[in-house]
A and B are shown apart, each in its own frame.
Chain A
Amino acid sequence: MASRRSSLRSLACLARLACLALAGTASGCAIGGMAGRNAATLFSSPAPVPDRITRPQRDDARLAVLWVGHATALVQLDDKFVLTDPLLTDTVGQLTHRLQEPGIDPANLPPLDAVIVSHMHFDHLSPGSLEMIEAKVRRLFVPQGGLVYVPNFAFDARELPTWTSFEEGGLRITAVPVKHVGYRYGVDAAWMTRSFTGYVLEYHGLVVYFGGDTAYDGARFRATAARFPHIDLALLPIAPIHPREMMESLHEDPGEAVQAFLDLGARTMVPIHFDTLINGFDQPGEARAALERAMKERGLGEDRVKILPIGGQAVVVPRQSR
């Protein structure tokens, strides 16, 4: 039964791929429509980020985050730097052009104590991006089963199954459960069934949650909160929203992301995974507006949910506060 479901899932993925190939001609095919929107961006250049930060190290911060775009964020925990899901290339898998350039020039990234990759999709595991920062990376973490799509780089790469941790120099990284899918190509859905994860970073009493790419699953978020009751910062995806019937089993919408933030019991949320690429049927700005509505409904102010522009940096815990 499970294998039949797996085959059906793979066939569905293939159908989506076929729709990609037929983009623009496959009327009624949502994926085809998305692919058509993507194709329209292929001949445009990413918009520049004004006044890109050249020195991301914040001397005034114990905990800071710089949103590079999509699910890529540079997290500073005192003297440690962690980069999430690095996507620094102009295109994703040569099929999707980014709408805005990365929020930092890769040359200006500091030495990275860890790079964490949440799952195998092209917009989260980007070998071309890893090539750009290879000399800066100390260690790369991927979910269980993920190393098959990580080539031999100069840095160490290792898998981190759910609820397991790796600690070095006081920086502790734990893989935590999220709800998504682990395949990269579709056909591999039959065996890449576990290669997706979230992470919790701990260092000097600072705690950061990275959701990667996840649908809403309250039980998994609450289980994480039970183990990590003092999360300072939650990086949570808020898009794609539409078409909801397709996305809801894979992606939180902004309202669900706010609920996940509350489930996690985190002090601060920074939204990610929006307005960097063509995201489903979402219009640029739509996810942000929906998040602002959800914040208003829940009584959350900008002190709790910090919406950064691409290239924007926020100090979450100032140096003097602890």
Chain B
Amino acid sequence: MPRTWPLAAALASFAVASATPARAGEPTEPAVHVTLPWVVTQLVPSPELAYGRDVARSGARWQLTPLLYSWGIHRGLSPWRFFVAEPFVRQSGSVELFFTPEYLVYGSSLADGAMLRAGTRAYFPLAAQGEYLSASVGTSAFLFEGRWGAAYEVGAYALFGIVGVQLTYTPSAPPIAWMATLRLRYF
């Protein structure tokens, strides 16, 4: 196995160990695991704009998926994914727990703009089993400026999930009310 993170390595070992031997007609569990190229893809930020009580702010977010359950995947295969989820497995119909570090150009110090968000999101295929077009709804809790808030979101994605738009609404916790994110994600 290539370079791994400890937790991811353990999960990868589980995935590899659970891969089934080949038999005619029987589905083969893919030995999905963390690889260096996957790590590289996770570093790509998704740019965003936040609008609240004062002015619009730009920023970026990254995303991790500790756990995903796919109902779009072939029924003979495990629907669970840990961190690494193939685009098809996600966009063909799934629900995921996500963790999203974000940064907004905000306040007088670097720390002022940091935001941590965790939540759940469901994807629904709309065209070509979600590879051409899919949509999502989700909700999250976030920590910003030392305060917790709740948010709701919708999204739409094309190009097997590489490119999408997410709109996030926070009804109760100014200074941020609306966020628009150009979601760039490969795996």
Chain A residues at the B interface, C-beta cutoff of 8 Å? 3-4, 6-7, 10-11, 13-14, 17, 89, 93-95, 126-128, 131, 144-145, 147-152, 157-161, 164-166, 184-188, 190-192
Q: Does B75 contact A (CB under 8 A)?
A: yes
Contact pick for B30, options A95, A165, A192, CB 8 Å: A192
Q: Does B143 contact A (CB under 8 A)?
A: no
Number of A-B pairs, beta carbon distance below 8 Å: 122
Contact pick for A152, options B22, B75, B159, CB 8 Å: B75
Selected interface stretch from B85-93, B102-110, B114-122, B148-156 = B85-93
CB nearest to A10 among chain B residues = B37
Give chain B residues whose Cβ lies under 8 Å from the Cβ of A7. Answer: 2, 35-37
Q: Is the interface of B mostly helix, strand, loop or mixed?
A: loop
Judge whether A128 and B41 touch: CB under 8 Å. Answer: no
Name the 6 nearest CB pairs between A and B, nearest first.
A128-B128, A10-B37, A127-B129, A164-B24, A161-B22, A158-B25
The minimal Cβ–Cβ distance linking B12 to chain A, given in whole angstroms, is 10
A-B contact pairs, 28 of them (CB 8 A): A11-B37, A14-B40, A89-B128, A126-B128, A127-B128, A127-B131, A128-B131, A128-B132, A144-B28, A145-B30, A147-B27, A148-B28, A148-B30, A148-B77, A151-B74, A152-B72, A160-B24, A161-B22, A164-B24, A165-B24, A166-B24, A166-B25, A185-B187, A187-B37, A187-B38, A187-B187, A188-B32, A190-B35
Judge whether A160 and B129 touch: CB under 8 Å. Answer: no
Q: Is the interface of A mostly helix, strand, loop or mixed?
A: mixed
CB nearest to A186 among chain B residues = B37
A209 CA to B89 CA in the complex, in Å? 31
Q: Does B10 contact A (CB under 8 A)?
A: no
Judge whether A94 and B88 touch: CB under 8 Å. Answer: no
